[in-house]
């Protein structure tokens, strides 16, 4: 049975103070390891170490959008990765042109020694640190022998996408940050697992929509409409850190399959029957 192992290294929303910012690892049946977003600061590395993952183990990053809570850990990841594996190829950053522009601005602001050109960023030792791999929405991105990914635009900020990753017949979809998105529903059609953000419940719906996010009800509706088998909620507000039950209850009103609220270091495996 082929299965994808998923490890949540960060499950908090931007303003959450109890959880690391978004970073999710997919270990695919063909040995490909993918990082979905890169958290902020050194959270990815700290939680990665807890999960037995080192910086040198990461080669591909799929970026959902360029808000700091999703990309600001890239420089720290590259710093440690470059020391641990100086001969490793550049970290491959996959995202929309707009998302990658945000990463370039981040690089310029945080490490003036990085030289940025159209292909990537080179560090002070002359080593290519990052490789820009712009992916148009809908473009198939080959990542491993039997692993590929496709993005679709979602409703958050310019350039924001969800990602559908398929490996050996197992499909996992990550919403990134978004309001309820028909494009996400299409992208998630028939997936084994949908990882969907859920900032709040319907009681805070107006504010949630104002800042470009989903309620747990939206995540449940998306899962039901897409016909996925399982739903994991992430990008959790401080309000629901200690008691995520209201998120679960609300999503369950719409989706009948298994639902979990992820926490940092939560792991699950999903596979073909």
Comparison of 116 and 157: residue with beta carbon closer to Zn ion = 157
- Look at residues 101, 90, 29 and name the one whose alpha carbon lies nearest to residue 60: 90
49 vs 68, beta carbon nearer Zn ion: 68
C-beta closer to Zn ion: residue 16 or 172? 16
The CB-of-182 to Zn ion minimum distance in angstroms stands at 19
Is 52 exposed, middle or buried, given 0-12, 13-18 or 19+ CB atoms closer than 10 A?
Answer: exposed
Q: Residue 48 Cβ, how far from Zn ion at the closest point, in Å?
A: 19
In whole angstroms, how close is the CB of 100 to Zn ion at the nearest point? 16
Query: Which tokens sit at 51?
Result: 């999960």
- What would the x/- binding string for Zn ion be over residues 148 to 167, using CB under 5 A? --------------------
* Among residues 69, 78, 250, 264, the one that binds Zn ion under rule CB under 5 A: 69
Under rule CB under 5 A, residue 76 binds Zn ion? no
Q: What is the DSSP pairing of strand 193-197 with strand 170-174?
A: parallel
Which segment (12-20, 24-32, 92-100, 126-134) binds Zn ion by CB under 5 A?
A: 12-20
| Residue 67 C-beta: closest distance to Zn ion, Å | 3
What minimum distance in Å lies between the beta carbon of 272 and Zn ion?
Answer: 31
At which residue do the structure tokens 């969800």 appear? 162
Minimum distance of Zn ion from residue 178's CB (angstroms)? 9
Q: What are phi and psi of 222, to 5 degrees?
A: -60, -45
Distances (CA, A) of 106 to 102, 103, 121, 214, 239: 6, 5, 12, 26, 29
CB of 125 to Zn ion, least distance (A): 32
Q: Report how far apart, in Å, the C-alpha atoms of 194 and of each of 92, 138, 270 are.
A: 24, 18, 11
Which residue number, 15 or 51, has a Cβ lying nearer to Zn ion?
15
Q: Does 37 bind Zn ion (CB under 5 A)?
A: no
Tell me the CB-side half-sphere exposure of residue 206, using CA atoms within 13 A: 0
Could you give the CA distance from residue 194 to residue 133 in angstroms, rounded to a whole number? 24
Q: Which residue has the tokens 């900020």?
A: 157
- Count interface residues toward Zn ion (CB under 5 A): 4
Any contact of residue 78 with Zn ion (CB under 5 A)? no
If one asks whether residue 67 binds Zn ion (CB under 5 A), the answer comes out as: yes
Pick 158 or 182: Cβ nearer Zn ion? 158
**CB closer to Zn ion, 75 vs 167:** 75
Rule CB under 5 A: say whether 177 interacts with Zn ion: yes
Q: In what order do the strands lie in the sheet with 33-36?
A: 115-116, 120-122, 128-134, 91-95, 60-62, 33-36, 23-27, 3-10, 267-271
**Unique residue bearing structure tokens 């809908």:** 138
Binding site residues, Zn ion, CB under 5 A: 14, 67, 69, 177
């Amino acid at each position: 049975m082929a299965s994808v192992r998923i490890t949540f290294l960060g499950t908090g929303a931007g303003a959450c103070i109890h959880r690391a910012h978004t970073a999710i690892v997919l270990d695919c049946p063909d040995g490909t390891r993918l990082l979905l977003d890169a958290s902020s600061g050194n959270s990815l590395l700290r939680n990665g170490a807890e999960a037995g993952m080192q910086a040198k183990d990461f080669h591909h990053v799929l970026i959902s959008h360029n808000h700091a809570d999703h990309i600001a850990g890239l420089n720290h990841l590259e710093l440690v990765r470059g020391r641990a594996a100086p001969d490793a190829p550049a970290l491959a950053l996959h995202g929309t042109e707009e998302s990658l522009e945000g990463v370039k601005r981040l690089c310029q602001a945080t490490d003036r020694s990085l030289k940025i050109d159209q292909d990537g960023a080179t560090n002070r030792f002359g080593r290519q640190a990052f490789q820009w791999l712009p992916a148009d929405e809908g473009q198939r991105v080959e990542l491993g022998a039997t692993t590929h990914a496709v993005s679709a635009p979602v409703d958050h900020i310019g350039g924001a996408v969800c990602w559908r990753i398929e490996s050996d017949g197992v499909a996992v979809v990550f919403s990134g940050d978004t309001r309820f998105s028909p494009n996400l529903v299409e992208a998630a059609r028939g997936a084994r697992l949908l990882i969907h953000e859920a900032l709040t419940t319907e009681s805070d719906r107006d504010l949630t929509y104002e800042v470009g996010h989903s309620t747990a009800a939206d995540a449940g509706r998306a899962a039901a409409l897409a016909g996925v088998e399982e739903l994991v909620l992430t990008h959790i507000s401080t309000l629901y850190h200690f008691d995520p039950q209201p998120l679960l209850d609300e999503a369950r009103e719409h989706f009948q399959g298994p639902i979990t609220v992820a926490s940092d270091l939560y792991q699950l495996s999903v596979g073909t029957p």
